């Protein structure tokens, strides 16, 4: 394992940074996008049934409902605030997209530079490399690509999952907001 990290050369540092950022964003977004923090069931039930709002007062939906109560006469402002809250829920996900695009390219750069070093060690007299050193050098050079892909694949999966989760919340909040705007006497056109 240590040989693989050594094989990446100096590019292990940007790859490590990509890995750290990806893990941080994934963990933070999974925590922030849990159902209780976005659309708690008790608050949804209160909106659907038209009862006084109970529970989940520190959630995204609670902030939207609080804003709508303060701005009953301005449905456009309420919709804009809801879009702003949805935008906040997407925070960090675009960075995951950059990471899953950049990590394999950084790894490929490490592979190319490693292969250049391996091929530069070919003996000028014989024109042949030392077979053992050549094989080991190629294997180490490819390790940067392996590391880049091992960062990119989980980032790709997590970005897709988190984006879909935000889209599902957006649809649910849109329906709830439509119900709230109807109660305020506005015609919803979301």
pLDDT value of position 169: 95
Residue pLDDT, tens place only, 113-147: 888 888 887 777 777 777 777 777 787 778 888 99
Which regions of the chain are under pLDDT 50?
186, 188-190
The pLDDT of residue 86: 94
Token pair for 61: 């939906």
Return the CA Rg of the chain. 26
Kindly report the number of other CB atoms within 10 A of residue 140's CB atom. Answer: 22
pTM of the model: 0.82
* Residue keyed to tokens 């750290």: 20
- DSSP for residue 51: P
């Amino acid at each position: 394992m240590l040989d693989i990290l050594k094989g990446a050369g100096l590019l292990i540092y940007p790859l490590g940074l990509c890995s750290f950022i990806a893990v941080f964003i994934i963990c933070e977004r999974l925590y922030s996008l849990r159902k209780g923090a976005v659309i708690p069931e008790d608050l949804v039930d209160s909106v659907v049934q038209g009862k006084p709002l109970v529970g989940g007062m520190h959630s995204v939906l609670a902030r939207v409902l609080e804003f709508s109560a303060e701005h009953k006469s301005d449905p456009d402002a309420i919709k804009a605030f809801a879009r702003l809250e949805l935008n906040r829920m997407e925070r960090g996900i675009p960075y995951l997209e950059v990471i899953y695009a950049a990590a394999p390219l950084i790894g490929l750069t490490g592979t190319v530079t490693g292969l250049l070093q391996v091929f530069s060690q070919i003996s000028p007299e014989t024109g042949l490399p030392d077979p053992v050193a050549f094989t080991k050098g190629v294997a180490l050079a490819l390790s940067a690509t392996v590391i880049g892909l091992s960062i990119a694949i989980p980032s790709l999966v997590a970005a897709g999952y988190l984006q879909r989760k935000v889209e599902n919340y957006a649809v649910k909040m849109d329906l709830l907001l439509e119900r709230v705007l109807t109660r305020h006497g506005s015609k919803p056109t979301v």
